[in-house]
Structure 1
Amino acid sequence: MAWQGPGGYPGQGQPPPPGFYPDPSLGGGYPAGGAPYPGGGGPPYPGAGPYPQQGFPGAAPYPQQAGGGGFFPGSAPYVPKPPGYDMGGGNYNSTGYGEDGNGMQNFDFSDKSIRLGFIRKVYGILFVQLTVTLGFIAMFTFHDGTKMFVARNPFLWWVSLGVMFVCLITMSCCGDVRRKAPMNMVFLGLFTVAESFLLGCATINFRANEVLLAVGICAIVTLGLTIFAFQTKIDFTMMGGVLFVATLILMIFGIVLMFWNGKVATLIYASFGALLFSIYIIYDTQIMIGGSHKFSISPEEYIFAALNLYLDIVNLFLYILTILGATRD
């Protein structure tokens, strides 16, 4: 049989050199003469110099790769990393990264670049929503022709109410609708227009100075609460259950006021509602920014995050406007 030297030494496929004796226990043979053969107890190797190959059985240990991640015996086992492991400097864990059933990658939300991009997208969408809403409010407040048109066509109010509820329920219950573009933007746009129309109809019953004052107070309160939510070390994301109970109480209180209405009761109701949705702004903001808070929303849910903040601000504006209207002479 052809002599196969380790690492091709002195040549593969060549006849064995003189003195090569087969050894069935080694599966081949070893040369004879000179220095002892490394790791074996057979005849000596020809010549006195050391065997030129490294890593031969019985010689020095196999060379290791840097960092202990080699494939050679004695090194640390190789653990494959998922594709895109080092994207954006994120960390890998069993729950924060991978692929879901739709093939979309779920990044660890603690990654700073992903979180900042998500926050910018949410506030960009929220800015467009509030701009559209302010345009409707200004048109209904200062344009008499719009007021007369709405008064002559009351069915528009019911149509807007139906569109608003359908879009809200669809985006809240159907994850594919609010995650896949452009469907998510279409539903959010329809919801924003319908909600803005309803808010415009609500402002008809108030004076222009009351509406402007409510807008200013709402903007200042929202800005202050947002800054507070970013800076505070208090984790408001753990208050979800308390806020849900408070919302139920507010809803029951509102139903009671439909049958028993009074100035004092209205002020209490509106004040409680303004306080509740002020806390909701902090709660939804901290869920959006994630980080060290206990609960955080997925970066894919930018439509849902913008929708939550928009509803918080809209409700805060309505309750502030109700307080101002109830305090008039």
Structure 2
Amino acid sequence: MDLEVSEPINFSSGDQLHLVRKASDNEDGQPKSGQHYTSSPSAGQKQTPGNPKSKADQRAGVYVVQISDENSPDDSNANADNPFSDSSVRRAFIRKVFLLLTMQLVVTGAVVSVFLFWRNLKVWILLNPWFTYALLAAFFVVLFVLACCGDLRRQVPANYILLGLFTVLQGLLLGTVSVFYNAEEVLWAIGATALVTLSLTFFALQTKWDFTLLSGVLFVSLLILLIYGILIIFIRSYWLHLVYAGLGTVIFSLYLVMDVQLMVGGRHYHSNLDPEEYVFAALNIYLDITNIFLFILQLIGLAR
């Protein structure tokens, strides 16, 4: 049986049934009814008697198939349901996320600098540990609201206010951590974090590897890292702390690549962020960067 591409067959209207009937009637290349069919896009075309020496007989068993590039109704509905199918929407989303992320990093850097170079503030933080615990409580409350209240983080200006408050709290927490290190160590950690962040961002944008498939593996790794961190509070070991800092750097580096690919979307397996989730996307990448900074700072402090 030969197939010839000629006139279109509309598969959505049932023309394929006509093609299947003709194929079943021509098993082994001969029609069972002794009649031949002529190629036609219509399912209702009448049969004509065969002539062994006619041209129609030479085309027996030759059927017409055309593959159409038109989208099926399901594909059209899927594209309509996905706002990111419009490239302009996706570009506007990415610009907004990077703008928010840049402002967060600038504010965080300014707050950390105050703790780093104001000696009296350093002494006050060391003498009043309650301040750090109060910051931790407020930090987790705001993080919980941003992570769990989807309607609130999409509502302007509440989402900007919460994100700004969260950024200030994170900057204060990083500042309280930096007082336990020398200024030189903190600056080295900032430089290393900037280099790692830029490198991994460009890698995430250019690579063909889909890191969004690792979301489950990374979540389990994060839980293991959390349990490991609780254990080393009670086990004082230089090597255990070094391994902990190294694992944390690797895990959050992978998280950074995954979150950048989630933001960019496109060909990746998981890319279902809503265009109104720019605050959530910026929050994820910001947390990845700050955690990379903390673990690199630990590595530098242990190395010295």
> How would you bin the TM-score normalised by the shorter chain?
0.7 to 0.9
Could you tell me which runs of 5 or more consecutive residues in structure 2 were left unpaired when the two chains were aligned: 1-74
What CA deviation, in whole Å up to 9, does each residue of 1:236-260 have, x standing for no partner?
1111110011101111110110111
Bigger RCO (CA 8 Å, 6+ sep)? 2
2:280 aligns to what? 304
Alignment partner of 1:94 out of 77, 97, 108: 77
Of the structure 1 ranges 259-268 and 276-285, higher mean CA displacement relative to structure 2 is found in: 259-268
CA distance in 2, matches of 1:125, 1:149: 32
2:107 aligns to what? 132
**2:193 maps to 1:210:** no
Task: Kindly provide the amino acid, as one letter, of the partner of residue 285 in structure 2.
Answer: L
CA distance in 2, matches of 1:237, 1:203: 32
**2:226 maps to 1:243:** no
Confirm or deny: 8 A CA contact 1:214 1:324 kept in the other structure: yes
Q: Against the structure 1 CA distance between its residues 152 and 242, is the aligned structure 2 distance closer, same or farther, given a 3 Å change threshold?
A: same
Confirm or deny: 8 A CA contact 2:218 2:251 kept in the other structure: yes
Task: Give percent identity, aligned residues only.
Answer: 47
Residue 146 of structure 1 deviates from its aligned partner by: 1.9
Q: Against the structure 1 CA distance between its residues 93 and 326, is the aligned structure 2 distance closer, same or farther, given a 3 Å change threshold?
A: same
CA distance in 1, matches of 2:222, 2:99: 28
Hey, which of these two has a bigger chunk of helix by percent?
2
Task: Kindly provide the amino acid, as one letter, of the partner of residue 134 in structure 2.
Answer: V
Report the secondary structure of 1:109's partner residue: helix
Confirm or deny: 8 A CA contact 1:163 1:190 kept in the other structure: no
What CA deviation, in whole Å up to 9, does each residue of 1:158-184 have, x standing for no partner?
222122111100111111111001111
**2:101 maps to 1:120:** no
Q: Against the structure 1 CA distance between its residues 257 and 114, is the aligned structure 2 distance closer, same or farther, given a 3 Å change threshold?
A: same
Confirm or deny: 8 A CA contact 1:109 1:299 kept in the other structure: yes
What CA deviation, in whole Å up to 9, does each residue of 1:168-215 have, x standing for no partner?
001111111110011111111111111110100001111111100000
**2:299 maps to 1:316:** no
Confirm or deny: 8 A CA contact 1:110 1:290 kept in the other structure: no
Task: Kindly provide the amino acid, as one letter, of the partner of residue 116 in structure 1.
Answer: R
CA distance in 2, matches of 1:165, 1:94: 40
2:124 aligns to what? 149
Could you tell me which runs of 5 or more consecutive residues in structure 1 were left unpaired when the two chains were aligned: 1-91, 99-106
CA distance in 1, matches of 2:76, 2:274: 15
Alignment partner of 1:281 out of 256, 273, 277: 256
CA distance in 2, matches of 1:127, 1:94: 36
Residue 115 of structure 1 deviates from its aligned partner by: 0.7
**2:156 maps to 1:181:** yes
Confirm or deny: 8 A CA contact 2:83 2:275 kept in the other structure: no
- Matched residues, number: 229
Runs (4 or more) in structure 1 with deviation over 3 Å come to 95-98, 151-155
